[in-house]
Every structure is written in C-alpha cells, then in structure tokens.
Structure 1
Amino acid sequence: MSTIPLDMEKARSRETLSEDQSTIEVPAEPQMELKDGLQPTAASEPKQNPELQDPDEYISGFKLILATGVVALASFTMLLDTSIVVTAIPKITTDFHSLDDVGWYGSAYLLASSSLQPLTGKFYSQFSSKWTFLVFVGIFELGSLICGIAQSSKMLIVGRAVAGMGGSGLMNGGLTILAACAPPEKRPTLLGFLMGFAQMGILIGPLLGGALTEYATWRWCFFINLPIGALVAVAIFLIHIPDKGAGRVPLTATIRSVFTVFDIGGFLLFAPTMIMFLLALEWGGTSYAWSSATIIGLFCGAAGNFALFLWWEYKKGDGAMIPMGMIKRKIVWSSALVSFFVGGVMMISSYYLAIYFQAVRGKTPTISGVNVLPGIVTNLVFAVLSGIAVTRLGYYLPFSIFGATLNAVSCGLISTWTPTTSTATWVGYQILAGVGRGSSMQMNPIGMAIIIFAQQFGGSVWLAVASTAFSSSLKKAIGKYAPGVNPQVVIAAGAIGYREVVPAASVAGVIKSYNEAVNHNFYIAAGVAVATFVFSWGMGWKSVKAKKVQSAA
C-alpha cells in the first residue's frame, strides 16, 4: 500500500491520471510561507505548474526503467523485512530466551516507522528527493546490520527500531521519485509495477526467513538487506532524479525556522505519547501489575501528552504535522480507525500463526513458512483483485465490509485449532483469512498518509496487546495442563527450545498450553475485526472515481 506525504495533502491540487476511470492522486507543491531563511514557495513566488513543464525535464528510456526498478527494489526490501522475521521469531526467542519480547520485535519496527511517517513528506518537500531517499536507505541498512549482529534481545529491538526509522521514508520516497521522473500518463503503469513488486516481499518473506533460519542462521534474515541496500544506493546515486516544486532548506536557515516548518514540537509531543502507551501495554500484566504505579503513570503520561499534542496541532493550523482539519472529516477518521484495526488483525495473524506451527505442531522454520503461504498468497491476490474491482466500480465500502466480516469469521475459526487440526482445515481457514485481509486493504484513498500511519500504529499496539495476553495465557495454561512445570522455564526456553528443558511426560501439556495461548490471541484478533466492521460504515458510499480534468490550453 502506498503513502502520500502528509504535508502535501493539506493544500494540494488533485491530479487525475485516468485509464479506465482509475485515479492516482499526486501531491502538488506545498502552499505555505517559509520564513527565517527558508526559501519561499508558491505563496510568495509563483512557480510553474509541474504538469506544464517541458517534457524533457522528465527522464525516459533505460534511465526511467532503472529508476523505477531501483525504488521498487527498495520498497520490496522494506516489505520483505516486515515478514521475513515472522518464521525466525521462534528460533530468536530460543536463542535469547526472550519469549516475552515477541511483541517488541514487530512493535519496535512499526512504532518507529509510524512515528516518523508524518514527517517524511516534509523531508521530501524541503530536501532533494535523491539524497533524502539515500539517507533513509542508509538508516534502514544500519538497523538491519544492528539486528544481524545483535547479542541480546534488547539489541535486536533497538535494531528493529532503527530499521523502522529508515523504512518510514522508503515508500514515500519511491512515490516522490516516480512522480519526479515520469510524466502523468506513464505514472499509473509505473506505480502498478512498484506496488506489485513490493508486495512480493510480503509473499516470499516467511518462506525465505524459514529457510535461512533452518539452513543458515536467523541473522541472515537481516544481513540479506545489506547487499540489496548497497545496490539500491549505488544505482540511485548514479541516476539523475529531477526535483520539481519542492522548497529547500538552505544552510543559513535558523533553528527556529526549521523547527517551525517541520513541526518538530508536534513530533516531540507525538512520539513520547506513543512510546509511553505501548510500554504500558507491553509491561502491564507481565513485568508490572496493571495496578502498579509504573503502568498507571505511563497511561496517565500518554493521555496528558496526547492532550498537549492535540492542542499544539490545533494551534499550528495548516502547518501542523497532522492537520486537524483533515482529521475532522468523517470519511478520514473512519478510514483511519478501520486501518488501525486492520493492522492489528494482520500483525496478530502473521506472528502467532508461525508460533502455532513451530511451537504447537513442531514444524521446522522452513515448513512453517510453507504452511502460512495459503493465507499470504490469498491475501496478495485479493488485494490486487479488490483494488481492480474498486477502480472499476468506484466504491470501496462493500469490500471493506466484506473483508471485515471474513476477518472476524476466519479469526474465530482459527481460534478453534488444536494440536491435531487436519491440514485441510488449517489451509481452508487461512485462505478465508487471506481473502478477508486482502479485501480489507482497499479503502478510501483520501488522507492516505494518515491511513498508513494508523495501520502501522494499530499493528504495533495490537501486537503489544497480543504479546501481553499470550504470556499471561501461557502461564495460566501451563498451571492447568502441566502443573509440575515452571512457566518461567518454558518462557525462557522459547517457542522451540522448551521441548529440550521440559520433562518428556509434560511436553504434551505444554503443547496444549501453547495452543490455548495462541487461541486466546485469535479471540483478540476476532474482536479487532468486529471493530473494523463497525467503523467501516462511517466511510460512507463515496465513489473514488474522479472526473477527468481538462488541462488549460
């Protein structure tokens, strides 16, 4: 799914790229006054319409193909990184004795990515798209390196956070570069290739991660990003990327002006709010009691900081990181809530299906990667099909409702799995879940940056909730099915290693305990899917078809 830089959505012209009545919205120049050393934009110095510029300013031929392929490869790597770790997590928890940290392996990446998401558009609007993209690639590569050489669970979590910071600007950068390199009539085809190729990362991630974990080491799930990133960086460095219509921050810009343009104040309120909230969810009921001063303090701090953030953004007006005027629109906040819950369903399903197949069914990482393919392939296929259907019909609400319904039903069915569930049953339920998730991904294109942020933030929040619930459920289930086993020993051993530390007579009971804990997480996923169904109705029966815009002669 693509994003459009958030600051460009505040005051933009809609550019309609039509083919079979389909539309792609491309941001126009930011219409704002820049002061204190920042270069003024169209508000004080009129600029030429980018679409009426000389066609020679675009690149073509092999250079355009190469630029498209490079940004598609970068986007592929980013999405690969989100799914390749899924089948490696059980082995990681065994090596680091860190079953309680499962939620953070995904949440750290998503939290860092979603925290920076509102700012990435501002970076691309003020700095060179080529160099900005290279910076984000470098940060992503640094995070991958830290993960690959991690000597502890905490070091791995830090690496995931750094990789998330880099990943936050890769998709935005890819879209910005394509818009700069290609004229409007070529962009739909290039964008289709970009998204289709990028989605392949999600498809092959679990299988590749399982194979690397089993036949090499889970560390190669992160090292594999390094040569790909190096290739992307070299290619982008050598390609001429036109920069059109973006402001520039000169070296003479004052700290105050940079602080204002990028709404650093909003970011400094926004990021701690999410961190405190997620820490409370992650630690509550595990590291600290829910009634402890630490957890209550984190929740209160998050609430207070969030109130300050809303006040700050309201005062900033059009210069806000997240414009209040856009959020007030029913269709936008409804779509954002739907994305928030869809992200939760997707992350819970991805992480805990792998744990089910490896911890409950005793499959190898490679085989568990194969076992989750039915849902992933179906997800990808129906994401494409529903996208085509929305383009043809013009209405996204039926697909969101249909997807939410299937998500709730499939998660409820998966929660009935046992250690002996037949192959036909678990394949069928995953296919049903894949259809639901794929259909749910096609939603209102208005406010895409906010919607993508909501999906990433929702994934991190619900993954943290699921991690806490899993640990709590596992401990209780062990007391019921394997009363002679110390739950902390099982948790410390990890999702794969517990068979080596638990007495043979108690292994069956621990397996049942893992199965029950996984089932409880799919209860949560089913409830989240129901919330998706409820909020989907707020998006309304709005057609995404746009009338063709006749350009001035």
Structure 2
Amino acid sequence: MAKSAALPVELEKMATVPLSDSDTIPANPAENAAAGDNEPQYPTGVKFWTVMASVTVVAFLMMLDTSIISTAVPRITDEFHSLEDVGWYASAYQLASAALQPLTGKIYTKFTLKWSFLAFFALFELGSTICGAAVSSTMLIVGRAVAGMGASGLMNGGLTIIASAVPLDKRPSVTGSMMGISQLGIVCGPLIGGAFTSYSTWRWCFYINLPVGGLVAVGLCFAHIPDQIKKSSPLLVLRNLHHELDLIGFVLFAPAAIQLLLALQYGGSDYAWNSATVIGLLCGAGATFAVWLFWNWRRGEDALIPLSTMKRRVVWSTSVTQWLLMSTLYCSTYFIPIYFQAVRDATPILSGVYMLSSIVSQLLFAIASGFLVERTGYIIPYTIFAGVLAAVSSGLTSTWSPTTPTGKWVGYMILGGSGRGAGMQMPMLALQAGLQQAELAVAIALLMFFQMLGTAVMLVISNIIFLETLRSQLAALVPDVNIDDIIKAGATGFRKVVSADDLPGVVLAYSNSVDRVFWLITGLGGLSVFTALFMGWVDIRKKKAPAAGSEQA
C-alpha cells in the first residue's frame, strides 16, 4: 500500500522514451520526439513493475539488515560478553560496504546490470547465513563484513537499474519512492528485531533475509532489466579485468579505508590514542590514500573514481550531505534502544514499540516529501528542513534522563523521524537530476561510499564517546564498583552484577553516556544544513541533465 501511495499516477501512463546518441535521456517530450526511433526502449506495464518491485524489496532487506540488530545488541553482548564489540557489529558491515563501493560502480559499468545485481545479492545472503549461525562475537563480525560486501552493490545497483529503466523526467519520483519504501527497513528494523529477540532468538534477525531473499532472487532471474549503455562481452572484460575495473586503484583504496576505521575503533579502547598502533594506522591510511589519489590522476577517466567526477559540485555536495543525514539516522537507531533497555529497563520488543513514534513520522514525511518535490520541483528546501529537525530533535534527546516523561521523549522522536523522512532521499534525487546516465553508476558509487564509510566512522566515534563517557561516569557516580565487570556484563546484564544501592548510579551513568552521543548527532544535523546549500537550486521539473564535466566546484 505504501508503494502505491508513493508512486505518482503518471507512471501508469509511462511511455517508451528513446535515448540520445550520447546515451543521455532527453528531459522533455519535445526532445524525446527528436531523439530518433532506433534507440533502446524502457520497460512498461508488468515488466516495469516487476523490475521496480524486485529492486525495492532488495533495498528494503538491505536497509532492514542495517538496523534490525540494534534492539538485539544488548542480548548479543550478554550472550557473547562483548559490550566493547558493539561498534563492530555495525562498523564491520559499513566498512566492508564502503571499501567496495568504488569497485561496484565500475562493475555495473562493465558488466550487465541484472547478473551483477544478483551476484551482490547472493553475497549479502551468505553473510546473513553466517551471522545467524554465529557461535562467537568474532564470527558474527565476520558475517556482518560478508553481508556488507554484498550490500555494497545493492543500493548502488538498484539506483543504477532505475536510471536504465525510467526516463529522466520520471526518475525523481521513482527514486524517491524506492528510497522511501526501503527506509521502512531502517525504521522497522528495531521493532522486528525486538520481536525476534524477545519471543524467539536474535538469530532470526539474520535468518529472515533467507526466505524473502530467495523469492526475490527467483523473480529477478525472470525479470528483464535493460542495459542502456553499450557494454563489451564479459569474456573480453575478464581478459583485461585489472585494467577495466582499475583493480590497482581498488587495492590502494580499500586498505586506506580499512586502516582509518581500525584506528578509530582501536583508539581509546584497545590502545591509547597516542600509541604506536593507532598513530601507525592513521599515518598508513593517509599515505595510502595519497598514493591512491596520485594513481587516480595518472589513470584519468579510466580511474576507479575519476577526479573529474569527484570535482563536480553536485557530486561532492550530495555525497557529504547524504553522509551527514544518514549518520544521524544510524547513530540514533543504535543508541536509542540502549537508552530504553539499559536506562528504562525495557525489553527488546518494548524498546522497539517505543520507537513507533519515530517510525510512523518518518514514513509519513518520506511519502509527503516525495509528492512535494514532484509539485514544487525544488530539493534543497526539504534537505534543509531535514537537517534542522535532525539537529533540534537530537539536541532535545541529549537532555533525556532516567526520569524523562513519556510525552517528551515521544515528541522528540516524532521530530527526529519527521526530519529523517523528509530528507534522506533528497541528495540522491539531486545527484540524478544533475548528471548524465553514463555518469551515474560511478557517481552513485561515490555517494554510497561517503554514506557507508561516513556512517561507519560516525558509529565508531559514537561508540568511543559512549564507552569513554560511561567509564568516567561510573568512576564518578559509583566509585566502588568494578567498571570492567559492568561493561563486560552488557547493557542489560549489568543489573545482575551491581547491588541495589549502586544501581541508580550505574543507570544514570548509562543515561549520561547516551546523551553525549546525541551531542555529536546534533552537530551532524546542523552541518548538513550548510552542505545542502551547494547541491544546486534548480527546478527538477525543467532541468535537463548537463553535459559531462560542465559543473565544477
């Protein structure tokens, strides 16, 4: 029902639109008539809906996988005694996705969309299987990394498929609808995860992907997904794979991203920030990234991510804005359940129910903002609105305490959900409106890289802030307790290892620690307002895709 509401009526009448000689899509009917009659056609009717339904369900499963674990984290830490690994449950997934993002753009450019998409989806399902069968925290982290590798090509591939299956003037509404529906996975994840954790086992948070994914894979196998860009034979690409995909560039890029995240993960927890390990990782990341930039410059337009693409204003501004807005969502989704379960002593399912106010408001504003963009044509106002609400709601959330009235925390979550729903798809819409079709695969990969790596870094930083604050708060409020024992007991298990006299102090320490995380989230929301101003004040109802490289920073 959400899908039908989100897609405008015009799509029912969508006609075949030819491509121009430059593989770009004419922006209006007059140009369509002049484009010629011998170009590839777009799918319509049942074929169109089959492709869109398959891509949307896959995107939903991927988004669900990023948040469904959040309400299960306290139980997982209790079972594996692994509170200090909390950041890795999200970061392993995000890091693997980020490291592979640039490569996925090249893969979709060189190989057929359909089978490339199915290959990434199979890898995602394998990771879910490993997570569900995990017997240790380490195995769970490995499974999350494998799932992240598969997920690296799903959203990028889905958006690239939409660009090949939908004309430019209809694409913003379809893209917004797909992303709006897929966001349900993010906001419903805590509720579904809480239900599995409370009434069955947290392992079903991962197993749920298998039966649904199997049905979707069968549908995709029989779906027709057009490739509007002429591609070489797969055998020819494989014979010269290192050149076609710029594997040397990938080998340089991936370690830089991995070293950066490892430094952030280890710093302040396993090693001191001034330790040789952390400093070495940071220096290694910087040096490797510098070498990668030099290699990119040498490769020119054949590079993993051409510098000419990175310099486009619409590319870097939308990428940074997407990173900031998605970071507010992911950090909130992971730490609000910790507040409810550790501070308010809520069960996983109840903490998911508590988040319904955020879920409903986010869904409503995601749908409403899509219709408003269709009517007004402008994207930036809704992006600014999203950033302002994210900052305000996060600032208010940072005032939560063990005794915050229900009305206040419900209201604050409604504000946050409204902002996130209004803005999450806007940077992607701006990117699609500002580029040619031939440029989209690599540009979308860059945007998704910023989102994946950026949110991974922010989750690690959030976890560092949380743990460091928790240690200092415990030392100040309950100086006689064993801090390491409390942390190892987990976010819900600590109630079993502290006395009744010390319990209020430990609960307050957890509350204050979550509050500090929302200081960071407030800053991210505010910064997104500034970066959104550079995405381009254009009316997408009239905008024609610019020539490649015409818009520089």
Using the TM superposition, name which of 113-122 and 468-477 deviates more: 113-122
Structure 2 letter corresponding to 1:259: H
Q: Secondary structure at the match of 1:505?
A: coil
Equivalent-residue separation in structure 2 for 1:161 and 1:327 (angstroms): 27
Are positions 1:508 and 2:518 aligned together?
no
Identical positions, percent: 47
Distance 2:49 2:423 in 1: 31
Q: Is the 8 A contact 2:342 2:510 kept in 1?
A: yes
Task: Tell me which residue corresponds to 1:86.
Answer: 70
Matched, 1:460 2:484: no
The aligned counterpart of 2:419 is 436
Indicate conservation of the 8 Å contact 2:394/2:518, yes or no.
yes
The one-letter amino acid of 1:507's match is L
Q: 2:104 touches 2:445 (CA, 8 Å); kept in 1? A: no
C-alpha displacement at 1:262, in angstroms? 0.6
Q: Does 1:116 align with 2:122?
A: no
- Structure 1 residue 270, shift from structure 2 partner: 1.2
**Change beyond 3 A, Cα 1:197–1:524:** closer
Deviation string for 1:281-313 (max 9, x for gaps)? 111111000110001111111111111111111
The match for 1:15 is: 25
Q: How much does 1:493 deviate?
A: 1.0
Structure 1 counterpart of 2:494 = 498
How far apart in 2 are the matches of 1:373 and 1:90?
A: 19
1:482 alignment counterpart? 478
Structure 1 portions without partners, runs of 5+: 1-10, 22-48
Between the aligned partners of 1:148 and 1:254, the Cα distance in structure 2 is: 34
Is the counterpart of residue 225 in structure 1 residue 209 in structure 2?
yes
Correspondence 1:45-444 to 2 at 5 A: 52-53=38-39, 55=41, 61-178=45-162, 191=175, 194-251=178-235, 257-441=240-424, 442-443=426-427, 444=430
Q: Against the structure 1 CA distance between its residues 89 and 16, is the aligned structure 2 distance closer, same or farther, given a 3 Å change threshold?
A: farther
For the residues of structure 1 that align with 2:163 and 2:313, how far apart are their CA atoms? Answer: 29
Q: How much does 1:360 deviate?
A: 0.7
Shift of 1:362: 0.6
Classify 1:75/1:539 alpha carbon distance in 2 versus 1 (closer, same or farther; 3 Å). closer
Q: Report how far residue 344 of structure 1 moved.
A: 2.1
Residue 535 of structure 1 is matched in structure 2 by 531
Root-mean-square deviation (Å): 2.7
Shift in alpha-carbon separation, 1:349–1:186, aligned structure 2, 3 A:
closer
Cα deviations across residues 32-66 of structure 1 (Å, max 9, x unaligned)? xxxxxxxxxxxxxxxxx8984365xx655544433
* CA shift in 2, pair 1:72/1:323, >3 Å: same
- Corresponding residue SS for 1:504: coil
TM-score (norm: length of structure 1): 0.85
Number of aligned residues? 508
Q: Relative to structure 1, is the Cα distance of residues 289 and 50 closer, same or farther in structure 2, using a 3 angstrom cutoff?
A: farther
CA contact (8 A) 1:51 1:183 kept: no
Letter in 1 for 2:87: G
Cα distance between partner residues in 1 of 2:55 and 2:523: 37
Letter in 2 for 1:464: V
Cα gap change, 1:509/1:306 in structure 2, threshold over 3 Å: closer, same or farther?
same
How much has 1:105 moved relative to structure 2?
1.2
CA contact (8 A) 2:89 2:140 kept: yes
Deviation at 1:509, TM superposition (A): 1.1
Kindly tell me: are residues 234 and 329 of structure 1, through their superposed partners in 2, closer, same or farther at Cα, counting changes over 3 Å?
closer
TM-score of the superposed pair, with normalisation by structure 2: 0.85
1:396 partner amino acid:
I
Distance 1:383 1:161 in 2: 29
Q: Is the 8 A contact 1:339 1:458 kept in 2?
A: no
Q: CA deviation at 1:379?
A: 2.3
- Distance change in 2, residues 1:143/1:101 (3 Å): same
Say if 2:314 and 2:535, in contact at 8 Å, map to a contact too.
yes
Distance 1:533 1:178, change over 3 A: closer
Q: Flag the 1:541–1:306 CA change in 2: closer, same or farther, 3 A.
A: same
Q: Which residue of 2 aligns with 1:28?
A: none
Equivalent pair of 1:83/1:201 in contact (CA under 8 Å): yes
- Residues 532, 185 of structure 1: CA spacing in aligned structure 2 closer, same or farther, 3 A cutoff? closer
Matched letter for residue 246 of structure 2? D
CA distance in 2, matches of 1:239, 1:405: 41
Query: Contact between 1:282 and 1:464, CA under 8 Å: does it hold in 2?
Result: yes
- Are 2:456 and 1:470 aligned? no
